Amino acid sequence: MSQDIKETVKEKYAEAALKVLGGEKGSCGPSGACGCDPISDNLYDTSEKSGLPEGAVLASLGCGNPTALADLREGEVVLDLGSGGGIDVLLSAKRVGPTGRAYGLDMTDEMLAVARANQTKAGATNVEFLRGEIENIPLPANAVDVIISNCVINLSADKARVLKEAFRVLRPGGRFAVSDVVCRGEVPDAVRHSMELWVGCIAGALEEKEYQRLLTDAGFTDISVEPTRVYEFTDAGIDNVLAREISGRVMGAFIRARKPV
Ligand SMILES: C[S@@+](CC[C@H](N)C(=O)[O-])C[C@H]1O[C@@H](n2cnc3c(N)ncnc32)[C@H](O)[C@@H]1O
């Protein structure tokens, strides 16, 4: 089952990456009636985008702007789980400077190709894109100061394992600073199913308290979940009753936690 999810996710993001390589904007699900992408549009300001290769902006498929909210310092090591076309890795690399390092980790070869092309265009030398799965991070323990991620952990079929891996690779005192989609309160199965149709790229969003529980179980402390964008489902092409039931309960959120010293 979890292998099926992984393969489906990989196919979807390979497709999105190929679109970007062809000069189009990537997307991970159907857009709303607005013709826009209510999850990924307008997450970055003009000054952030203007300093990046166009391909990194076209490939942006996140649900937040983790580097704007994370406290990144000169010389730190950052790891982006599910780095896609590399937008947050390139932004992090600027923040940590030449004495720091920004790693991106992704399992989809086509996305890695987009990210590496963007790295070359940006001339970023303190960046490395790694091939692998966020459930098995290919880095040693205690190697990273800050873990970022943007709309990826919700895609994993084994979120508990992802959070344990994040904890393992963080140094004591290291920070988890992640944008993700979360639900507030129980979401009925039928709703969850319809929601998935619309928000293809965010299927599997965790309930907010469950997210906190899994972070605690992994060993994290100082946990907080801050909503950054609350989604309305009125233009999503789903049944009106279901839409009303979940409107305002599914959100882009910024999740912070710390590995104890
Ligand atoms: C919604 S996109 C987000 C990409 C990027 N973070 C951004 O903000 O543009 C999800 C990305 O995560 C990757 N991904 C999904 N599940 C993964 C997993 N289990 N291990 C590694 N990468 C994964 C996909 O290949 C894709 O590039």
Long-range contacts of 1-9 (CB under 8 A, 24+ apart): 1/157, 2/157, 2/158, 5/155, 5/157, 5/204, 6/107, 6/133, 6/157, 9/155
User: Counting atoms of ligand 1 from 1, which one is nearest the CA of 135?
Assistant: 19
pLDDT digits (tens, 9 = 90+) for 108-144: 999 999 999 999 999 999 999 999 999 999 999 999 9
Cα 55 from Cα 121, distance rounded (Å): 9
Instruction: Quote the ligand 1 centre to 241 CA distance (angstroms).
Output: 31
Cα 70 from Cα 157, distance rounded (Å): 26
Percent of the chain scoring above 90 in pLDDT:
59
Q: What is the DSSP letter of 238?
A: S
pTM over the 0.85 mark: yes
What is the SS3 assignment for 60? coil
Mean pLDDT, all residues of the chain: 87
Please tell me which of 23-37, 174-188, 197-211 the model is most confident about, judged by mean pLDDT: 174-188
Confidence bin at 56 (pLDDT 50/70/90): very high
Degrees to nearest 5, angle at CA 254 with 167 and 95: 75
CA distances from 29 to 33, 171, 222 (A): 13, 36, 33
Q: What is the pLDDT of residue 88?
A: 97
- Count of helix runs (H) and strand runs (E) in the chain: 10, 8
Which two structure tokens, joined as six digits, stand for 107?
Answer: 């399992």
For residue 168, give the amino acid letter.
R
pLDDT tops 80 at residue 221 = yes
Helices 109-122, 2-21: inter-axial angle, 10-degree rounding = 40
Cα 28 from Cα 39, distance rounded (Å): 10
Mutating to test ligand 1, I would choose from 2, 5, 6, 9 the residue with most ligand atoms within 8 A of its C-beta, which is 9
pLDDT digits (tens, 9 = 90+) for 227-257: 998 887 665 555 677 777 777 888 899 999 9
CA distances from 178 to 22, 131, 197, 199 (A): 29, 20, 24, 19
Identify which of 6, 10, 14, 28 has the alpha carbon closest to the alpha carbon of residue 156: 6
Show the ligand 1 pocket: residues with CB < 6 angstroms: 6, 9, 13, 28, 60-62, 82-85, 87-88, 106-108, 111, 133-135, 150-152, 155-156, 201
Q: What is the pLDDT of residue 113?
A: 96
pLDDT tops 80 at residue 105 = yes
Cβ–Cβ under 8 Å, residues 57 and 44: yes
Instruction: Quote the ligand 1 centre to 240 CA distance (angstroms).
Output: 30
Window from 20-34, 70-84, 152-166 with minimum mean pLDDT: 20-34
User: Counting atoms of ligand 1 from 1, which one is nearest the CA of 202?
Assistant: 1
Closest residue by Cα to atom 26, ligand 1, is 84
Instruction: Quote the ligand 1 centre to 163 CA distance (angstroms).
Output: 15
Instruction: Quote the ligand 1 centre to 29 CA distance (angstroms).
Output: 14
Helices (H), 28-85: 46-50, 54-58, 66-69
Confidence bin at 28 (pLDDT 50/70/90): low
